Amino acid sequence: MKASPQAYNLIREFEGLLLAAYRCPSGIWTVGYGHTSNVPPDAVITQLQANLLLQEDVAQCERTLNRYNLALTQNMYDALISFIFNVGAGNFHRSALLSKIKVNPYDSTISDEFLKWIHSRGKPLAGLQRRRMAEIKLYFSTQ
């Protein structure tokens, strides 16, 4: 599967766009739409570069998610792309969220697993809670 425009829109909405490097709430140097790989503190990019980095980062999330061969709807897939983009492939791989999806992607308690991922440096963040709620809404919505 591939991420649809709604996955990109969700990521853009919650990541925001900054063309100069900044430290995210977790203290990681970030630029563009939440790009964190090899970002020097003095990085400055263009809108075009931000879009290309977003496409590369989403493609990496797609490769991660597609490895599991899960039976997902497009909405489920897009919600999980946003989730993986935010928490990282390793955290997703080790998560109870993935374990539950493997058993039954329609399990209503999957919502609880999304909501376990609202903390940064041990503190709950309102922005992460809003993001998880949007991901849950998309995950369980029908097309």
Structural domain of 27: 5-140
The CATH number of the domain holding residue 33 is: 1.10.530.40
The pLDDT of residue 110:
97
Query: What pLDDT sits at residue 32?
Result: 98
* Per-residue model confidence (pLDDT) at position 42: 97
DSSP symbols for 38-96: T--TT-B--HHHHHHHHHHHHHHHHHHHHTT-----HHHHHHHHHHHHHH-HHHHHT-H
24 is catalytic: yes
Does residue 143 have a pLDDT over 80?
Answer: no
Residue range 97-142, pLDDT digits in tens: 999 999 999 999 999 999 999 998 889 999 999 999 999 999 999 8
Active-site hit among 15, 61, 113, 135:
15
Domains contained in the chain, number: 1
Catalytic: 15?
yes
